[in-house]
Amino acid sequence: MPAPLLLVVSGLAMYGGAGLATWLFPYAGPGGTAWLRTLVGAVALVAWRRPWRERWPRRRLALAVVFGAALAVMNTAFYVAIDHLPLGAAVAVEFTGPVAVAAATGRGWRERLAIVPAALGVLLLADVAVDRLDHHDAVVGLTAVGVAATAWAAYILLGRRVAVGGPDAASGVTTLAVAMSCGALLSAPPFAADAVRGLAAAPQPGVAALAAVGVGVLSSVVPYALDQVVLRRVGTATYSVLLALLPATAALVGVVVLRQSPRLVEVVGLACVTVAIVLAGRPRG
């Protein structure tokens, strides 16, 4: 399957899962829902990859722990953000993380120039968020999405090391399984109890539990496993170009699943962020 199609599948799964996750927010809260997502993803990946069959040198295990911490922070902060911001706007602002990585690590003028449309897009989307929401939602949402963007930048840098650190893509997915298990353990103390109580208090606990499984599979297992395939198959520049497909995917999910119709200024802001990603990731001739 071509890499662009893999990333489209990844984006549809991830943001479809995010739309489903908002249904759990009233019961488990954003943090509890993020923990359930990480837990389900960890269980599924561990059952699939059975990481105990492989050797775990100290360096590989340390990388998995740090990678898992970045995953936990990214997921939790993103769920807090979409609890206060429209999905499309939150995803577009979060993309400052990948753009910053491309600009900081790039060596050409395109990577540096990408900061301009990225900043413009973020300002437009942030202004819409402040205008549409009350002050509390705007402040909490934008702060959370800023944390998520930083964690996403760490995810890209660490994910690339995981993807190319083994003999094949399957090895990267195995490291991902351990990383997600570490993330679930690290985020359990503040969120696990609320998540369990929330599921039990839901009007239909069985349906809520199935929704949590769906969120974990759609938002963690499918996209992160595909990321390991794509990150190993293509270079960083091409991967940055492919990431431009995701904001449009998130906006589509927001319109279809969450009934969040974007304004014209949001479309312009989204286009600016997309241009920034294409500029930052375009291979130099």
Cβ partners under 8 Å of residue 275, min gap 6: 114, 117, 121
Tell me how far apart the alpha carbons of residues 267 and 285 are, in angstroms, rounded to a whole number. Answer: 30
The predicted structure's pLDDT at residue 245: 65
Residue located via tokens 């293509």: 234
Closest CA to 35 of 160, 166, 219: 219
Q: Which residue has the higher pLDDT, 220 or 249?
A: 220
* Containing structural domain, residue 198: 3-281
> pLDDT digits over 232-261, tens only?
887 665 666 567 666 666 666 666 666 666
Confidence band for 285, pLDDT divided at 50, 70 and 90: very low
Cβ partners under 8 Å of residue 265, min gap 6: 124, 127, 128
What's the predicted TM-score (pTM) here?
A: 0.83
Q: How many CB atoms lie within 10 A of CB 194?
A: 16
For the chain, what is the mean pLDDT?
84
Helix (H, G, I), strand (E, B) or coil at 133: coil
CA angle 238, 243, 248 (to 5 degrees): 140
Mean pLDDT of 163-181: 90
Does the pLDDT at position 215 exceed 80? yes
The predicted structure's pLDDT at residue 256: 65
Closest CA to 118 of 153, 170, 87, 72: 153
Cβ-count burial 165-185 (b if 16+ within 10 Å, e if not):
ebeebebbbbbbbbbbbbbbb
Alpha helices in the chain (DSSP H): 3-49, 58-82, 87-94, 96-105, 109-113, 115-132, 135-164, 169-201, 205-216, 222-233, 236-243, 245-256, 264-281
14-28, 124-138, 195-209: least confidently modelled range: 124-138
Q: Which residue has the higher pLDDT, 256 or 137?
A: 137
Does the pLDDT at position 6 exceed 70? yes
Q: How many domains does the chain have?
A: 1
Q: What is the DSSP letter of 53?
A: G
Q: Which of 57-61, 92-96, 246-250 has the highest mean pLDDT?
A: 57-61
Tell me how far apart the alpha carbons of residues 259 and 257 are, in angstroms, rounded to a whole number. Answer: 6
